[in-house]
Amino acid sequence: MAIRGNLLRTIVLLLSTRLPFVTSASATLTTCLSSANLQPISSSSSDYTADSLAYNRRLSYKPADIVFPTNEQDVASAVNCASQVGVKIAARSGGHSYAANGVGGEDGSLVIDLKNLNSVKVTASNQTAVFGTGIRIGDLALALFNGGKQAMAHGTCPYVGTGGHLGCGGFGLPSRLWGLALDAVIGAQVILANGSIVTASSTENQDLFFAIRGAAPSFGVVTSLTVKTQSAPSSNVFFNYVFSPLNVTMAVETFLAYQNFGANDAPPNLGMNVELGNGDFEMSGVFYGPTSNFSAVIRPLLDAVPQQPKSESVKTYDWLGILTQLAGSDGSLNTSTKADVSDTFYAKSLMVEENAPLTKTALQSFFNYLYGPGTTTDTSWFILADLWGGPSSAINVVPSTQTAFSHRSTLYTFQFYASSSNSAPPYPSDGISFVDGMVSSITSNMSGTDFGMYSCYVDPQLSAAEAQQVYYGNATTTRLQNIKSQVDPMNIFSFPQAIENVPDPESTAQSAAQRGAAPYAAQLGVIAALLLDVLLPVV
């Protein structure tokens, strides 16, 4: 029997040296995931196409496999399989990445979808909450409020996932009062590339804690977050001012009034933006305070604009009422009540520094562009200029070295966004160049100014180096690369703009050999183990 067993092992070994030529890393990954009871969706599965769809239908990628773990041990098993085989990993929370990074941002990733990790525990007595990162922000907002009238700052769309949102920033209208969503994070559970399950906080794994607050997708799978919550304000004044279609001169003066008001007069409990569209110029936002105080707060702005709004709406809501109002057409905060929508779009951002507001010349060029090419494009577009800074803004009191999100002196953040007219593919051929033109109409007139960009509005047209420069800046990028080399030396958490470690020259050759050998060795190991399992009982 022993001789036959040894003989069989020899046969398996010989066989397995041939098998990698007919077995792809993807198939080996699927085998490993199946062995771990993770029921992978692979390219032959009937659900594969639907499960691979990104929110942004302009982009589509083919993942190696998709898994839906139910707890952090499952996530660790999935990470182990991908690491052994050398397949890159993308965590997916809400799938709303502008670059389809939730499905990897390129072909061939293992997608770890976190939708089953969606529990929330609110402890109102000490104003904290712990939640699984598969929960969407609308459902989280509901749970926080129902758990003791708690709240936190986050974006307006209920369907955005908390994992991606808090991993890059998480701006919402209360952010000038409470900070970005990631500023509320006080602890995280993270699955690292080696499959270990670790905690990160201000006292444990501090470097990792720094990295996951702004650059999370490059560092691991964040399975749960602990946040500091706020008491939900009971009075929230929504306002919207619509200005008549403006000529360039009036538009520039109106925008300058907003810029000056934001820099000098807006109190931190005021969140607001300018929204521009084809023939549209609006200012809207929320005053988190008593209705009776609002008119005095907004008066300096209305006194400064060159013409009064043609229509206005001012209405007070309770907390869930204001969140629902801001959710707009998405309506309900409970995302299980109706299916998510999708869009087909390209977007860019620009962060205007408090010490370098837009010049009149730059604004003239900008509005000339909007009132020229902006009226003839095949896209359906809008621009938001969200106020981030100004007096006592909670976003900017945080030191720029405290989190990987390092833009802590932004006055306002532009989002330039252009969809196909029916939100479905195909994307208009002028779309990308039209959006690029919006941005360059500003930047080409302020050539000495360094503008940052917001990584939550990820721009897939940028190279990795360009992206890291504008999202993080040199100092933060270098720090992140060093942390990456500690926690993910093989760059398993990888996508086109991911932070990569910078290996020292001596270890480069060795690492390359390991990278090449790892998938091969893992395939051999898994296949040999499977064959032994099947054949040994027979002999």
Which residues contact ligand FAD (rule: CB under 6 A)?
55, 90-98, 101-102, 114, 133, 155-157, 160-161, 163-165, 167-172, 216-217, 221-222, 456, 495
Contacts of 529 (CB under 8 A, 6+ apart): none
Question: What b-and-e string marks burial along 129-139, b requiring 16 or more CB atoms within 10 Å of the CB?
Answer: bbbbbbbbbbb
Q: Closest distance between ligand FAD and the C-beta of residue 156, in Å?
A: 5
- Of the pair 33, 200, the CB lying nearest ligand FAD is at 200
- Of the pair 287, 495, the CB lying nearest ligand FAD is at 495
Token pair for 27: 């198939």
SS3 assignment for 487-523: HCCCCCCCCCCCCCCCCCHHHHHHHHHHHHHHHHHHH
- Of the pair 160, 283, the CB lying nearest ligand FAD is at 160
- Of the pair 56, 365, the CB lying nearest ligand FAD is at 56
Local structure of 306: helix, strand or coil: coil
- Of the pair 294, 495, the CB lying nearest ligand FAD is at 495
Amino acid, single-letter form, for residue 508 = T
Question: What b-and-e string marks burial along 78-111, b requiring 16 or more CB atoms within 10 Å of the CB?
Answer: bbbbbbbbbbbbbbbbbbbbbbbbbbbbbebbbb
SS3 assignment for 404-471: CCCCCCEEEEEEEEEECCCCCCCCCCCHHHHHHHHHHHHHCCCCCCCCECCHHHCCCCCCHHHHHHHH
Angstrom distance (rounded) from CA 115 to CA 133: 8
Q: Closest distance between ligand FAD and the C-beta of residue 403, in Å?
A: 14
- Of the pair 89, 526, the CB lying nearest ligand FAD is at 89
- Report whether 25 contacts 526 (CB < 8 A): no
Residue 5 parent element (H or E): helix 2-18
Label residue 387 left, alpha or beta by phi (over 0 means left) and psi (-120 to 50 means alpha): beta
- Return the closest-CA partner of residue 225 out of 284, 307, 158, 152: 152
- Of the pair 101, 396, the CB lying nearest ligand FAD is at 101
- Of the pair 369, 381, the CB lying nearest ligand FAD is at 381
- Return the closest-CA partner of residue 113 out of 87, 74, 86, 141: 74
Query: Which residue has the CB atom at the shortest distance from ligand FAD?
Result: 164
Helices (H), 19-89: 25-35, 48-51, 72-85
Calculate helix-pair angle for 505-535, 25-35, nearest 10 degrees.
Answer: 60
- Of the pair 66, 90, the CB lying nearest ligand FAD is at 90
Angstrom distance (rounded) from CA 490 to CA 116: 28
Residue with tokens 């919402």: 172
Strands (E), 173-217: 185-191, 197-201
- Of the pair 222, 531, the CB lying nearest ligand FAD is at 222
